[in-house]
Amino acid sequence: MQKMQILFPDPMMRRLREVAAQQDVPLSEIVRQATALWLDRMPKQASPVRRVPTVNAGLCLLDAQAMKEALHE
């Protein structure tokens, strides 16, 4: 588990404390449960596939050896 600090407005914090007291659980558990419910409602999106840009430059007019020779000329 990781620790983080979250700031809540006073009215929301009071309500969270009330709910935690009613359910006899730590406030952190209320926040975890609420976050889990919210995340379950979010659509799971696949991470975008990154593709290497390519260019169709047409047919190659030289073979590999001719390209090497042309490079050194």
pLDDT of residue 19: 95
Q: What was the pLDDT predicted at 49?
A: 82
What are φ and ψ of residue 3, in 5° steps? -100, 140
Q: Residue 43 has which token pair?
A: 């659509």
Distance between CA atoms of residues 15 and 30, nearest Å: 11
* The model's pTM: 0.57
Q: Say how far apart CA 5 and CA 25 lie, in whole Å.
A: 19
pLDDT in tens, 20-72: 999 999 999 999 999 999 999 988 887 788 888 888 888 888 888 888 888 88
33 close to 39: Cβ distance less than 8 angstroms: no
Task: Please tell me which residue, 1 or 25, carries the higher pLDDT value.
Answer: 25
